[in-house]
Amino acid sequence: MKYQVSQQAAAEVQAACIVVTIDQSGKLSDAAAVIDQASDGFLSKRYEAGDIKGKTAETLLLPGVSGIAAARVLLVGSGKETPNTTNAIKILNAVAAATSKYEGSVALALSELASEALPESWWAEQTAIAYAHASYKFTETKAKPEEEPKQAEAVIWLGGDVDTAFLKGSAIGEGINFAKELGNMPPNICTPTWLAEQAISLTADSALETMILDQEKLAELGAGAFYSVAKGSSEPGKIIVMQYKGTDASEAPHMILGKGITFDTGGISLKPGLKMDEMKYDMCGAASVFGTVKALLALKPKINVLAMVTSAENMPAGHASKPGDVVTSLSGKTIEILNTDAEGRLVLCDALTYGIDNYKPASIVDIATLTGACMAALGEVNSGLFTQDEDMAEQLQTAAKYSNDKVWRLPLEDDYQELLDSNFADMANIGGPLAGATTAACFLSRFTEGTPWAHLDIAGTAWKGGAAKGATGRPVSLLVNYLLNK
């Protein structure tokens, strides 16, 4: 998709479609008023006739009329008030969905919706992300691949200089779609080995170095928590280490760590069969790390990033871990495995230790589809945010608000730690039936060694089930903005 900026008048721009707005009181935007005047009141008459009420993201496609150069007009409702972040993205998604199929170019006269809170550059950035969303469709495993989704050749932005914003939005959109593609891949293809191959393919860019730690090497190192999960499968587990080098090597990297369980049966603590097919999405934390790296490689920010993925299958084989087993983590701490379905924290804790010991990161954010408890608490709207570091909390909440990739901060007080007490090891891997999302975060916090750290539980936001089944690509946008703000 190409993005262009133009100062042409709305009635004069040559395009397959021009997009203009109307609010809920019937007031046309300046660009819409120009078209209305050139067409003898054609747009205002549509409101008077009740064809459109101006509600947020409501659309009405109209044929081109005499007096304007565009072949079609898309009239879009902007609501009662200046759009907030959520409504603005609804508007842009509606626009992209309605216009991305047209051959040629689409002109957007949306700059009038900008505000102090959401400047024109933000609208342009989110426009590129919206068109990336509209262009994505999973076809990789179709017997007869469908035609590529149609998309406009170019988007013409009628307004100020927002070229840089379009570059950023395009990079984030590509990263989101990459994360979706990885998440949607079936688990017989998307194995830990296949994920490692995706990381290696990204190293064609000289800014990225990749190292793969295989299951045997990790066992030799003493990563007993990771090995306890990976050993139950015939597919060997791996920790994938990607280093994005954007500035001087003396600058400590910011670490992002993604859970990559490519299929989660629950192990010996077997999950119910209903919807178990969706457990291929238990690697969406890893997918978001890959998507973030993809965006960073396009944007080339001056920052060092350590991007790690812990990848394994959790299977109920004869040599799988059993409830009651005690394993020794890479840190030396021992763990009583009370539930083999609490495996994500086991693979992550050894990766945290490895990353801290070997790379001394300035900060860490781990991202994981970790707990059903978080999904029950927050649904599909907010990811759970856990941290005791106020600076990191503020940084992540700022990035979440800007990108509308929402988070909600949940408690991580020390009082919860005692729920992980074990009679037979330094800790148990679960804390009982209460506060499950918090005790999972408490478990991980024990392996952060004083490094500024935050945990994102994306169990409710990483994918959608049912008829809309598919990966969402969250929280790539949040992570990219968080890192760029560094």
Active site residues: 271, 345
Question: For the packed helices 163-184 and 476-484, what is the interaxial angle rounded to 10 degrees?
Answer: 140
Local structure of 214: helix, strand or coil:
strand
Q: Are 57 and 22 in contact (CB under 8 A)?
A: no
């001056």: which residue's tokens?
A: 302
Those residues whose C-beta lies under 8 Å from the C-beta of residue 330, and which sit 6 or more positions away, are: 221, 222, 223, 224, 225, 226, 349, 350, 353, 354
Task: Give the residues across from 19 on adjacent strands.
Answer: 74, 108
Asked if 470 and 464 touch (Cβ cutoff 8 Å), the reply is: yes
Distances (CA, A) of 435 to 240, 370, 386: 31, 13, 13
Q: 3-state class of 14 per DSSP?
A: coil
Query: Which residues 6+ apart lie within 8 Å of 153 measured at CB?
Result: 1, 2, 103, 104, 105
**With left for phi above 0 and alpha for psi between -120 and 50, is residue 66 left, alpha or beta?**
beta
Sign of CA dihedral 432, 435, 440, 444: negative
Distance CA 56, CA 14 (A): 27
Contact 197, 159 (CB under 8 A): no
The pair of structure tokens assigned to 252 is 């400590």
Per DSSP, the residues of 360-413 read: --SEEEEEE---HHHHHHHTTT-EEEE-S-HHHHHHHHHHHHHHT--EEE----
d(CA 486, CA 483): 5
Parallel/antiparallel/unpaired status of strands 334-336 and 326-328: antiparallel
76, 58 contact by CB (below 8 A):
yes
Structure tokens at 166: 């379009």
Q: Kindly tell me the number of DSSP H helices and DSSP E strands found in the chain.
A: 14, 19
